Amino acid sequence: MKWVWRSLLGLLLLVSLGLGAGYFWLRGGLPMAQGTLQIDGLEAPVQIMRDANAVPHIFAANDEDAYFALGFVHASDRLLQMEMQRIVAAGRLAELIGDSGLRLDRFMRVLAVYRNTQATYENLPDDVRQAVDAYTAGINAWLAQADVLPPAFYMLRHRPEPWLPADSMVWGRLIALQLSGNFRSEILRARMAEALSEDQMADLFSALGGPPTTLASALPRAFYDRLAAALPAPLGPSVASNEWVVSGALTDGGRPILANDPHLGLNTPSLWYLARIETPTLSVAGATVPGVPLVLLGHNEAVAWGVTTTGADTQDLFIERIDPDDPDRYLTPTGSEPFVVREEEIKIGRGGESETLIVRETRHGPVLSGLDEDLEEEFAEMLGEGHVLALAYTGYSEEDTGAEAMFRLNRAVNLADAREAMRLYRSPVQNMVLADAQGAIGFLVIGDVPVRAAGDGSMPVPGWTGEYDWTGTVPFAEMPQAVDPDHGYFVNANNLAVPTDGDVFLGYGYEEPYRAERITELLESSAPITADRTAEIMLDTVSLAAQALLPVMLEVRVETPRDANALAMLRRWDFSMQRDRPEPLVFVAWFRELNRALYADELGPDLFAEYWRLRPTTVRNMLTEATAWCDNVETDNPETCQDILHDTLAAVLDGLTEDYGEDMEAWRWGDVHIAYLSHRVYGRIPLIGGWFNHAAETDGGDFTVNRGAMSTWSESLPFAHVHGAGYRAIYPLGDLSRSRFILSTGQSGHPFSPHFGDMVERWQNGEWIEMSSSPEALADNGLGSLTLRPMD
């Protein structure tokens, strides 16, 4: 028996050693929080003090050393996020994951995302270039001293290459591409226009400015179907954020208060990373993005700023006609011109395989239809002549001065100075609110907006005639902007910044105004405005969309006691999307099915899947005015809107009763409205991936200030909270040291760090942190101090 016990003991020892080795391996790459490191590349010592939330407070003798330190801490906490960003931007994903990365790689190479960034770096002014170079050196310094990388690098069998200056700038182009997706809308409209009548198109698009008006293409729907299939999935959600700024005349302290919560996809870790920098010439704090050397949202000693996405139309698709006498040329108003051609080699996996992508450009921009190598040839045979589809895009340029704009903004001394910095900003187009410590507040739309000779950019147009060409961009002085309004505040929640028939046409990519109207309503009923009241507004969950639509829905006929109970409950509802209440669940589930029942049959499965979302104005119009949508075209029996309302309500109540029981009062919105903050690498590990993800029941919905946008198109998790405020901030200009911040996850991207998800619950419950402690307070209450010293 002794050998049995010895074997078991030996096995236990091996398991213990394996677990211990695995634990220390998994903890590899965790940042060093205290001590001293000698690092090449610094001019003077830098102190990095981490507060209790692992936020780095960087104290440096000069700006370049501060940027060096920011690069160092970004790499120590979020290296995987940074690495994936630059791989995607460079069109090198297939090197890492094989064929499944090819569609995205081709798209990035066609748009020359990384190539143009490299050219932009070469044209930076000296002071901005020095900041980028210092930040880049800090990342490489961390890589040089890191004996162990985060475990994902070993799982992926990937060793990061040295960081390059262009890597520190390319995220700006990635987010611009994500937030400038109009060309996809053009493709969808072109596909829909062939399937629907003009009146139907008007009904589907009237909520945001009207139907498309510039369809000038003879290309068949099949062409656009194929092109849509060749495109990679969007990089992420494209719209939604809140911002407002209130003048000192309306606040308790007599100085402005600015609030901002940008809404993007929710993942682990959060996109955002909090940091504070203090040097003799720079004092700035707020949200950074790892891989970028600047504070993108936040405040300095004198100015605070925030942004929302405008949804401006900065992309147009031009149908170019190939010269029938020479396939290497295309037609223009002045004759035939050659395509500009370049080759891109895309490596696939680690086995040496690669493909060569031929990229052509016209005078409008790169040819998108080349993403599918067979598409153009097939349709040339069908149409009897050749066409290609080229993309005009304001972000497709080597001359992007956005990095300089943000560099100058970080140093602005007043609102006028900040506004002047934004003259340099290019893409994506944003709505910006500003406030300074002297009491001024402002709103301006920033970025390049094209001026069209004709058309509204909503559909693909002929490129060979010149009729729809861009004639330039709107001058900065003519962009929508204002300072110190009489009513005392500016509000934007992706709603229309200026009328569509005004002097500046921004397109139809804006959101319905429910969130902006609710913020305005709350500001006008709150006097004086305090930081606490601002926080309450940011967390408000009343849905004005439900308030507008539900009365129409409640006109449904009642046939059963269950119907009556559900409707009575909804009539008592205050339209608050609280996670512990049943009414939001019943309303949203019913609203979702109404969208399906009203227009799925007309669109067909493919188009419906792309157009489908919760559309309150469209649904209300269909139920009250355009009632022909209530008749299902797939059945022989005529249907009325009463039939649609009743049948969808009955189906929803059947499903909810089956899932949650007969007691409606016990149903909870929070049981389905869950933010799944998943890790894109660790979360995919079989069996144990769930350990690395976070989940939180949340309040709100698609149209509430506390936004909890959902994946309503999903059949498995239609009510999951997939898009919302990964960062919230409030900046009181009377005392910016009392600014409030929160992230959706935590500072660290390392799964075994205690700061991997330590903000999730606080984010869920509307709590805040501050990051203005003195070095003495940080020494007493922080996690430690790391000093970086220059090499002797």
CB 93 within 8 A of CB 87: yes
CA dist 630 → 33, 195, 592, 607, 638 (Å): 63, 18, 15, 18, 9
Query: pLDDT tens digits, residue range 699-713?
Result: 999 999 999 999 888
Retrieve residue 380's tokens: 């040339």
Q: Which pLDDT value is given to residue 14?
A: 35
- Residue 51 CA to residue 70 CA, distance in Å, equals 15
Q: Which pLDDT value is given to residue 222?
A: 86
Query: pLDDT tens digits, residue range 80-119?
Result: 999 999 999 999 999 999 999 999 999 999 999 999 999 9
Of 667, 676, 716, 717, give the one whose Cα is nearest residue 695: 676
Angle at 320 between CA 316 and CA 325, to 5 degrees: 170
Using omega within 30 degrees of 0 as the cis cutoff, is the peptide bond preceding 150 cis? Answer: no
Does residue 183 have a pLDDT over 80?
Answer: yes
- Residue 789 CA to residue 792 CA, distance in Å, equals 9
Query: pLDDT tens digits, residue range 487-532?
Result: 999 999 999 988 777 889 999 989 999 999 999 999 999 889 999 9
Percent share of the chain, pLDDT over 90: 82
Could you tell me the pTM of the whole model? 0.94
Backbone angles phi, psi at 359, to 5 degrees: -105, 125
* Radius of gyration, CA atoms only, the chain: 27
Of 750, 646, 526, give the one whose Cα is nearest residue 23: 750
Strand 257-265 and strand 241-246: pairing? antiparallel
Confidence of residue 238 (pLDDT cuts 50, 70, 90): low
CB 489 within 8 A of CB 246: yes
- Residue 136 CA to residue 181 CA, distance in Å, equals 30
CB 131 within 8 A of CB 63: yes
- Residue 705 CA to residue 557 CA, distance in Å, equals 32
Average pLDDT over residues 562-578: 97
Retrieve residue 741's tokens: 């911040």
Does residue 24 have a pLDDT over 50?
Answer: no
**3-state secondary structure string, 286-320?**
EEECCCCCCCCEEEECCEEEEEEECCCCCEEEEEE
Angle at 270 between CA 266 and CA 273, to 5 degrees: 150
CA dist 744 → 406, 580, 694, 695 (Å): 24, 20, 10, 11
Average pLDDT over residues 306-315: 96
Average pLDDT over residues 172-180: 94
- Residue 175 CA to residue 212 CA, distance in Å, equals 26
Does residue 201 have a pLDDT over 90?
Answer: yes
Q: Which pLDDT value is given to residue 703?
A: 97
Percent share of the chain, pLDDT over 70: 93
Does residue 25 have a pLDDT over 90?
Answer: no
Q: Estimate to the nearest angstrom the gap between the alpha carbon of 193 and the chain centroid.
A: 28
